[in-house]
Amino acid sequence: MTTSSDNIRSAGLMTFAMFGYVVNDAFIKLAAEDLPLFQSIFLRGVAICALLFVLNRARGTLRGYRAHLTRPVGIRLATETIGTILYLSALTRVPLAEMTAVIQIVPVAVTFVAARMLREAVSVRRVIAVIVGFLGVLLVVKPGTDSFSPWFLVGLVVVALIVVRELATRQISQSAPSLLVALFTGVTICTMGLVLSLFEGWEAVDARGIALLVAAAGFLAIGYVASVATVRIGDLSFSAPFRYTVIIFSILLQIIVFGDVPDVWTFLGSGIVAAAGLFAFWSDRRPGPMAVRLRS
């Protein structure tokens, strides 16, 4: 049975994972300005695989690794790979904060799936947190306006892949170390980058490009490990609203790294997103009349 302490840990890990992912996205977006996208993914993959291999070797988690190559792991790797291709292809064509916001339909989808398929007890407060957060996302994306790009529709496909990935991760045996699953993911993404880069072509890499890709690898490693761990620790429906924290991180990076200041609606939507996450955290610690359980 999942405890309140487990959920709090999963929320912290989810926030940490979102930070790692969005910083990685920023570095890849910068690297892709001078390098072909899939070459960047491959070179970043080499760095992340080396890092995760060393960590797994130090922890002794490589022994008997074949036993952990199960069907749920295979599904996770497949959805992660396809989702990465689609997401990064879109990311090179739209602003970081806006594309990140589209992906935040995930908490709504994950909460629904957790209630319907995993039979998690989802409280009214958690549902409210997810819906309010999603409304904040809509303020950031502004669908139906001139700022809406068709590439955002690719994000909807990525959302579906992420949901399947999370379901598969939930089914991975607890005996499989999160660090090892992260290494499997890194190797798969790296291989995909190599294959696709052969069709896209290569460019010479300078010191700046290497530094960006190594930094991206480090932060992506954080995202991999933390995201695997959070799904396996707490309720998916509780950690889901904390995915919205990536909006805050992406806006800050868009300002600091790319010098692009979002409009007032983006800031307002991000504030709503942050409030939704805080409400989810507060409500889980304060049972009351609103803690009605919704089951499928």
- Per residue in 73-99, pLDDT (tens digit) is 999 999 989 998 888 888 777 777 677
Between 210 and 5, the more confident residue is: 210
Question: Which pLDDT band, with edges at 50, 70 and 90, does 255 fall under?
Answer: confident
Question: Which pLDDT band, with edges at 50, 70 and 90, does 137 fall under?
Answer: confident
- Per residue in 101-136, pLDDT (tens digit) is 677 677 677 777 766 676 666 677 777 777 887 787
Between 263 and 69, the more confident residue is: 69
pLDDT score recorded for residue 292: 43
- Per residue in 276-287, pLDDT (tens digit) is 766 766 665 555
The amino acid occupying position 274 is: A
Dig out the tokens for 107 from the structure. 């908490």
The amino acid occupying position 156 is: L
In degrees rounded to 5, what are phi and psi of residue 120?
A: -70, 145
**Range of the structural domain that residue 240 is part of:** 4-294
Burial class for 162, CB neighbours closer than 10 Å (0-12, 13-18, 19+): buried
The answer to whether residues 239 and 50 touch, using CB atoms and an 8 Å cutoff, is no
CA–CA distances in Å: residue 49 to residues 20, 59, 220: 16, 15, 11
Is the predicted pLDDT of residue 296 greater than 50, yes or no? no
The three-state secondary structure class of 188 is helix
In degrees rounded to 5, what are phi and psi of residue 194?
A: -65, -50
* Dihedral class, residue 71 (left if φ above 0, else alpha if ψ from -120 to 50, else beta): alpha
The three-state secondary structure class of 294 is strand
Distance of alpha carbon 238 from alpha carbon 16, whole angstroms:
15
pLDDT score recorded for residue 78: 94
Distance of alpha carbon 206 from alpha carbon 187, whole angstroms:
24
- Per residue in 53-69, pLDDT (tens digit) is 998 999 899 988 889 99
Q: Number of folded domains in the chain?
A: 1
pLDDT score recorded for residue 138: 76
Between 102 and 242, the more confident residue is: 242
The three-state secondary structure class of 122 is strand
Distance of alpha carbon 261 from alpha carbon 162, whole angstroms:
29
DSSP-assigned states of every residue in 238-282: HHGGGGGHHHHHHHHHHHHTT-----HHHHHHHHHHHHHHHHHHH
Element holding 42 (H helix, E strand): helix 37-59
- Per residue in 174-210, pLDDT (tens digit) is 888 888 988 999 899 999 999 999 988 899 999 999 9
Distance of alpha carbon 55 from alpha carbon 59, whole angstroms:
6
pLDDT score recorded for residue 294: 45
Q: Which of 38-52, 136-150, 166-180, 183-197 has the weakest average pLDDT?
A: 136-150
pLDDT score recorded for residue 129: 75
